[in-house]
Amino acid sequence: MRKTRNAAIIALTALALTTTSTMPASASTRTIKTTGAKLKFHSKGDRFVLYDTACDNHEIYVEWNVGTFGPIEEHFSGGCHKHRTFKHKWKKNATVRYHLCRNVQWGSDNCTVYYKNNAGR
């Protein structure tokens, strides 16, 4: 009986973790990083802030889409330890799907996995 109860608790915990990791977050700030770059998504204000965290001459960019609109790439090559803000006006609660990339000349870009958030305004 105890093994059955423990197995049920483990199964429900796994289900809860799976469910929460695939659902979009709302009204939040999310920070993601890759080699040489950082991105903050602010759902309140619908904006991305791209940070160049390395002095390596590699451009960084965010690739995003909202619903069927996109994908759109927004690039920043402003240099070492600088940042740029990209502001948008998306429909409230629209699902924004995005990832951060570093443009590697003569090689494959290194990109994060895709993330989802709800637009907040």
CATH class of the 24-118 domain in this structure: mainly beta
Q: Is 72 helix (H, G, I), strand (E, B) or coil?
A: strand
Does the pLDDT of residue 6 top 80, yes or no? no
Domain segments of the chain as ranges: 24-118
Rounded distance, CA 30 to CA 83, Å?
16
Mean pLDDT of 10-26: 41
pLDDT at 70: 86
The tens digit of pLDDT for each residue in 68-96 reads 888 999 999 988 999 999 999 999 899 99
Q: Report, as an integer, the average pLDDT of 58-65.
A: 95
pTM score: 0.74
Strand-pair category, 110-111 with 115-118: unpaired
Confidence of residue 121 (pLDDT cuts 50, 70, 90): low
- Interval 48-74 mean pLDDT: 93
